[in-house]
Amino acid sequence: MLVQKLNACAEFITGDGTRMRELLHPDKQPLKLRYSLAHAVVSIGQTSTPHSLTTSEVYYILSGQGEMHIDDELEIVEAGDAIYNFTEC
């Protein structure tokens, strides 16, 4: 079992100003993870820079609402929504 405490994960600021804490990352845990999970705070009016990973990502919206763009798809997301962005291996 692996338990990651949010407050024990170092916070850093990404290039686009997003406040981030990585909870699970395939390159940073001694597990065979096929996805990453991070706690990110995007301020009102701010956007996250488009990016892609070699692994899948899981997003869970805790508060607020916004637009999620993945490839050619666009969805309006809000608190309580979970989004799984998969990468086929």
81 has a pLDDT exceeding 80:
yes
Among 11-15, 19-23, 25-29, 85-89, name the one with the lowest average pLDDT.
Answer: 85-89
- Enter the pTM of the model: 0.74
Q: Can you tell me the distance from the alpha carbon of 5 to that of 78, in angstroms, rounded to the nearest whole number?
A: 24
**What pLDDT, in 10s, does the model give residues 25-49?**
888 878 888 878 889 999 888 888 8
Instruction: Write down the pLDDT at residue 74.
Output: 94
For the stretch 5-13, contacts whose Cβ atoms lie closer than 8 Å and that sit 24 or more positions apart, written own/partner, are 6/39, 9/39
Q: What is the mean pLDDT of residues 55-79?
A: 90
- Give the pLDDT confidence score for residue 29 in this predicted structure: 78
CA atoms within 13 A on the CB side of 64: 11
Query: Which stretch of DSSP H or E encloses residue 22?
Result: strand 19-24
Does residue 89 have a pLDDT over 60? no
